[in-house]
Structure 1
């Protein structure tokens, strides 16, 4: 056998081996593909871990642990400590909360590393699937984690979002005329970030997605059917999109109250967490329409706490970071 023939046979064998290997990869079960940890984090693990706080017996409680993700301009303390965290603690429902860098005003592609790490941390502490409750950006950004860090898909049971900016907001067009925060650019309708997020499937098998939103949202705009930003429509996940006015037609909840004290949003969130699959509006009693805030929110401190949310949100938008263009997409998302 001459050298040329020997080389040809070795080359043919190598090609055949690569072809079989490729076929094997294509044949891998979804669970094996979903175990992909995705790109390496740019933020040190110690920094990411310091941003997560937990309360309750995550491993031993009969109630599924919930990871809370705050909205743009807010911290978990401002967003959740006087409402959802307080009520979950009283219920014996364990929870964790993740603080996004710069009050969620910086590049969301960095913020999502905090969320992805928080999902893994909460899941590890619980030793079982967890639920997520996110408000505004906090309702949208876990989807970036599920898209680009596939291993997190196996860790989530319910993803419940309140007024999530899933498809952006037209209000950012005006806000960004004189420059705005990086995350506001990324949440603007038609941004490169949202185009990447929503390309392909929006949801993944094994996860129940309950998207709760108000038609009178002045921040995530428009959020009224059939052009609402919050609803999800594609993918293999189980999806339920619920406009609160479909339950309470005269409901006038605005953006910040939806993420803090809205009784219809709360009832739907708890219904999703406490039942298999998504929330079911038919299980929500009509009496919820008569409530001003959800049960467990202290009326005596409501105005003080909500006033702090309003003040910080306004301060962040006026005095927060200001850039004149959307951050570049990370290489893994291009």
Structure 2
């Protein structure tokens, strides 16, 4: 009798799982992604790599910028300097319209960048995305499953993983930049990128956040199921990093990211020395210019967002996103 009960319970669980999978409107996680719609010349021109990335046995870092900025504007005055100083190889990808358009199109650039970076190196790579860059890269991994075997680490720096309620408040009826409508908490894009499963086996996910994030709210929307989710203030309670500085100048975010991409598995805060909390600026960031650098970053991003074309509604999801194909 007990064996029969166990079998019935197992069958019910299986049937529920199958029914759930069959009714999910979004594509199965292992269905091959479509051919990229962006011309190959544009995709190739968007990726830049250091000479050391070619043939590297180290985990090459691929940087994906956030909204309204180009890779050099986001990373040349901080991350690139720091990695150059220690000889760590890296690549970056420039996204169309500085990421103020359709995030689905940006994701195609990331798909190509992942494939390119893996092809020129000798091992799996690390994807490091700030803000929107954290979620556009996740969209790439979700809907082009061939890219997953190419990635060892995914690090999100204040990634807009579950949208921001600020976008819902600003654009309750649409009429805003495409990316902002896609990154509402209620957006279909957000529903799609998190459909079926949020993380994938074989990739070590680290999602870093800060309680002082002024753009991605409420707290916790950066967290992912299956990831190591770390609030900077849980490691260093006095850390003052905000949405911009977590991806551009914060020493703790830098240390956790490097911990993730230079060893097996996600970031482990216990590996870091206590002294990490006593230094505000990451290596590479110049204390004499960092205020001006941060101001330029924010002003550039805000100007491009303000000048972005207005979409009446959230861009429609592409056919390949759906189970029906």
TM-score normalised by L of structure 2 = 0.87
Of the three residues 192, 199, 204, the one matched with 1:203 is: 199
Query: What SS does the corresponding residue of 2:115 show, helix, strand or coil?
Result: helix
User: How far did residue 221 of structure 1 move?
Assistant: 0.7
With a CA cutoff of 8 Å and minimum separation of 6, indicate the structure with the bigger relative contact order: 2
Structure 2 partner of 1:127: 122
Query: How many angstroms apart in 1 are the aligned matches of 2:51 and 2:90?
Result: 7
User: How far did residue 279 of structure 1 move?
Assistant: 0.5
User: How far did residue 34 of structure 1 move?
Assistant: 9.0
Structure 2 partner of 1:326: 314
| C-alpha distance 56-37 of structure 1, shift in aligned 2 (>3 A) | farther
Query: What SS does the corresponding residue of 1:57 show, helix, strand or coil?
Result: helix
Instruction: Determine if contact 2:57/2:121 at 8 Å carries over to the other structure.
Output: no
Query: How many angstroms apart in 2 are the aligned matches of 1:173 and 1:153?
Result: 31
Instruction: Determine if contact 2:168/2:186 at 8 Å carries over to the other structure.
Output: no
Instruction: Determine if contact 1:214/1:243 at 8 Å carries over to the other structure.
Output: yes
- Per-residue CA shift, 1:148-181, capped at 9, x if unaligned? 1111011000001100001110111233257321
Structure 2 partner of 1:165: 160
Structure 2 partner of 1:229: 221
Question: Cα RMSD over matched residues?
Answer: 1.7
Segments of structure 1 that go 5 or more residues without pairing to the other structure are 1-32
| C-alpha distance 58-36 of structure 1, shift in aligned 2 (>3 A) | farther
Query: How many angstroms apart in 2 are the aligned matches of 1:143 and 1:50?
Result: 22
Structure 2 partner of 1:254: 242
User: How far did residue 286 of structure 1 move?
Assistant: 2.0
Structure 2 partner of 1:217: 213
Query: What SS does the corresponding residue of 2:193 show, helix, strand or coil?
Result: helix
Query: What SS does the corresponding residue of 2:128 show, helix, strand or coil?
Result: strand
User: How far did residue 36 of structure 1 move?
Assistant: 6.4
Instruction: Determine if contact 1:34/1:154 at 8 Å carries over to the other structure.
Output: no
Structure 2 partner of 1:27: none
Instruction: Determine if contact 2:48/2:92 at 8 Å carries over to the other structure.
Output: yes
Determine which structure has more spread, i.e. the larger CA radius of gyration.
1
Query: How many angstroms apart in 2 are the aligned matches of 1:243 and 1:327?
Result: 32
User: How far did residue 127 of structure 1 move?
Assistant: 3.0
1:1-334 pair list within 5 angstroms: 37-177=32-172, 179-223=175-219, 228-234=220-226, 239-334=227-322
TM-score normalised by L of structure 1 = 0.84
Query: How many angstroms apart in 2 are the aligned matches of 1:265 and 1:121?
Result: 26
* Number of residues of Structure 1 aligned to a counterpart in Structure 2: 294
Query: How many angstroms apart in 2 are the aligned matches of 1:259 and 1:50?
Result: 24
User: How far did residue 275 of structure 1 move?
Assistant: 1.2
User: How far did residue 296 of structure 1 move?
Assistant: 2.4
Segments of structure 2 that go 5 or more residues without pairing to the other structure are 1-27
User: How far did residue 62 of structure 1 move?
Assistant: 4.7
Instruction: Determine if contact 1:56/1:93 at 8 Å carries over to the other structure.
Output: no
